[in-house]
Structure 1
Amino acid sequence: MYSFFDTILYPLEWFVAFVMVGFHKIFTAIGMPASNGWTWALSIVGLVILLRILLIPLFVKQIKSSRRMQLIQPEIQKIQKKYKGKKDAESRQKMTEETMELYKKTGTNPFSSCMPILLQSPFFFALFRVLDRLKDIGSGNHHPIGWMTKSLAKQAESSHLFDVQLSASFMHPGDSPMAATRFLTVLLIVIMSVTVFTTQHQLMRKNMPASALDNPLAKQQKYIMYIMPVFFAVSGVNFPIGVLLYWVTTNLWTMGQQFYTIRRMPAPGSAAEKALEERRRAKGKPIAKLSIPGLSSGDGDASAVELAKAKTPPGRPGLVTSDGGTAGKSGGQRVQPKRNNKKRKR
């Protein structure tokens, strides 16, 4: 079992070691000391940034899928209400088939929101294994991984950040001072917990419509908001300082990325969407809401109305036309169409 797991993770370990050493060479070339702990710490930060940049397309898909999921919630509730109280196997199967048909019709993937996290996890474990094996690679008890040769592994393993080795942990400080190791570990765990709590709190407070706060997904995110800090406190004491640094960096990236997304691409019906509409109205820009063709909720018509309202000059309201424009003059009176007799005479 161990050999199989080792075989699966080895390509990722090679990638992690390759990127870390690559960034280490870049920082060394610009004048940073090769054996300095900050040089290796920034190499880990560079690994996180590169990985998150590569995951941006998946993150965009996650946002679009999440917004579609929120738009089709009324339709899902209709399906659930239709089969409410029916516990036979045939009814459950029909409900599942109708739900999957709705997903297919609207192009929604309920599992895409988990993809960035799932794809990050193997790289996280690969980094953990690379840092955990630095001492073995440096002593020759383990073969080199990628560009992580014996000499570089020994250099990385002996590098210090605030007098603490990057391979040291709360439970196993190694040659590092125990007090400094535990203080730095606790500090990084606190930062991790605060960033995760802030990210989840921001998501629930600004980017969720009021109607969605009572569904199972919102309750699950609320549990995550309070459970994750406890998880970090329990599991973080076993991770090396380098892995905790990786986790802190990716949490900070997630928090900043979500702040930008909520401000520019808020969820439909959320407080963030209302704030965006107010900002666009203040700047005189048109407002276009996300809609999915084929839904019975009429979101597409609502988008046209909002767009027309945004285009209508102040003090001169007009009626909304089928193409989303406005008709009529001052006072909102409708102009009757006139018959063109010239074409008929010709």
Structure 2
Amino acid sequence: MTPLYYAISAVLVAWHWVFTNVLHMNPDGGATWVLSIIGLTVTVRAALIPLFVKQINSSRNMQLIQPKVKELQKKYGHDRERLAQETMKLYKESGTNPFASCLPILIQMPIFLALFRLLDHHAANGSGIAFLTEPLAESFGNAELFGVVPLKATFLDNGGSLAVQVVAAILVIAMTATTFTTQRQLMSKNMPADALSGPYAQQQKLLLYVLPVVFAVGGIAFPIGVLFYWTTSNLWTMGQQFYVIRNNPAPGTEAAKAKAERDRIKAEKHDQKHGTTSGTALEATVVEEPTVDRRPQQRQQPKKQSREQRKKSGGPSGSPKPKPEGGNQ
């Protein structure tokens, strides 16, 4: 844990220096240390964005290939070894890593544990470690939010303070609610209908209800400072996921339908503003002109007549011969 102690304490102390020397906040104030913890959270989560992108892509691929996974289960359900081989082959062909969705959580857990030890043991006892020197550790150990809530206190170890219990309970509820909302948002809006059944969907449903309970039970033993870290991290995850689902949803999901509708409305407003017609609207308004035959009409040939008929009619054209003026000569 020593390398993590150095990394986390460096970021925490750097944010504390910014709020103290740049914004001229009280270096021993609870608000200063809370904002430093929030700054640490934002820094850690920003560094994990590439892993989050991999997680989103992996989760999306897992959702989209669920129908194929079901077909393999029907086909090779009697042969577990063959089923495992074909499933891994499908993952490889689709570029899906089933473990990529766990990477952000797996990486955050050591960071969380290091922060927990840093705040709960070293800072709370005033024993410095890494870049968190003893004066800074004592400053954090004595810091109180609102002047009555020590950041090292927990819901269980509250020193008889009702304010500590209230603040801790609010943070635990917020941490639990954000965890549930984030998972619920993913399942309800960014999972195709085919992916809502099967082993992967059952796993997601299990996590939907189990994780909030785990965090709620464990949260009552976390220091107030750690609760601020975890709640901020959950809020970051919820906002980040909302942005991804809204702007880059998985195909065939409710989020994809909503985005298509927003794009259509946006295109209509753009056309009305600029007096143009989008491609779709233009196709709908084109009216086919009736086909007009512009070829020259053929001259009607005169009816063929016999010699006797031509004599009687007075000429080839059928018009009678004019009589000479002056009568018979």
The one-letter amino acid of 2:153's match is: A
Deviation for aligned residue 1:312: 4.6
Structure 2 matches for 1:46-57, cutoff 5 A? 46-57=39-50
Residue 101 (structure 1) aligns with? 89
SS at the partner of 2:283? coil
**1:121-178 deviation line (CA, Å, top 9, x unaligned):** 100000000011235762xxx4x3222111110011000013111111122225xx52
Deviation for aligned residue 1:110: 0.9
Residue 259 (structure 2) aligns with? 276
**1:180-210 deviation line (CA, Å, top 9, x unaligned):** 1111111111111111122122222211122
Residue 58 of structure 1 is aligned with which of 36, 42, 51? 51
Determine the C-alpha separation between the residues in 2 that align with 1:257 and 1:157.
32
Residue 231 in structure 1 maps to residue 219 in structure 2: no
Deviation for aligned residue 1:246: 0.6
Determine the C-alpha separation between the residues in 1 that align with 2:202 and 2:124.
45
Determine the C-alpha separation between the residues in 1 that align with 2:282 and 2:123.
74
More displaced stretch, 49-58 vs 185-194? 185-194
Structure 2 matches for 1:82-121, cutoff 5 A? 82-84=75-77, 86=78, 91-121=79-109
Give the CA RMSD over aligned residues: 2.2
Structure 2 matches for 1:149-160, cutoff 5 A? 149-160=133-144
Residue 28 of structure 2 is aligned with which of 20, 30, 35? 35
Residue 22 in structure 1 maps to residue 14 in structure 2: yes
SS at the partner of 2:281? coil
Residue 145 (structure 1) aligns with? 129
Residue 164 (structure 1) aligns with? 149
Distance 1:227 1:113, change over 3 A: same
Deviation for aligned residue 1:222: 2.2
Residue 262 (structure 1) aligns with? 245
TM-score by length of 1: 0.75
Determine the C-alpha separation between the residues in 2 that align with 1:11 and 1:135.
17
Determine the C-alpha separation between the residues in 1 that align with 2:69 and 2:18.
52
TM-score by length of 2: 0.79
Residue 115 (structure 2) aligns with? 127
Verify the 8 A CA contact 1:134 1:167 in the aligned structure 2: no
Deviation for aligned residue 1:316: 2.8
Determine the C-alpha separation between the residues in 2 that align with 1:179 and 1:281.
53
Determine the C-alpha separation between the residues in 1 that align with 2:123 and 2:105.
29
SS at the partner of 2:132? coil
Deviation for aligned residue 1:330: 6.2
Determine the C-alpha separation between the residues in 2 that align with 1:70 and 1:262.
14
More displaced stretch, 53-62 vs 126-135? 126-135
Determine the C-alpha separation between the residues in 2 that align with 1:238 and 1:56.
29
Residue 306 (structure 1) aligns with? none
Deviation for aligned residue 1:314: 2.8
Distance 1:190 1:15, change over 3 A: same
Determine the C-alpha separation between the residues in 1 that align with 2:218 and 2:124.
23
Larger-Rg structure: 2
Determine the C-alpha separation between the residues in 1 that align with 2:175 and 2:129.
28
Identity of aligned residues (%): 50
Residue 190 in structure 1 maps to residue 173 in structure 2: yes
Verify the 8 A CA contact 1:137 1:149 in the aligned structure 2: no
The one-letter amino acid of 1:204's match is: M
Verify the 8 A CA contact 2:124 2:152 in the aligned structure 1: no
Determine the C-alpha separation between the residues in 2 that align with 1:45 and 1:111.
28
Structure 1: segments with no counterpart, 5+ residues: 1-8, 286-310, 318-328, 332-346
Verify the 8 A CA contact 1:137 1:150 in the aligned structure 2: no
Distance 1:154 1:210, change over 3 A: same
Determine the C-alpha separation between the residues in 2 that align with 1:249 and 1:135.
20
Verify the 8 A CA contact 2:155 2:164 in the aligned structure 1: yes
Determine the C-alpha separation between the residues in 1 that align with 2:56 and 2:243.
12
SS at the partner of 1:32? coil
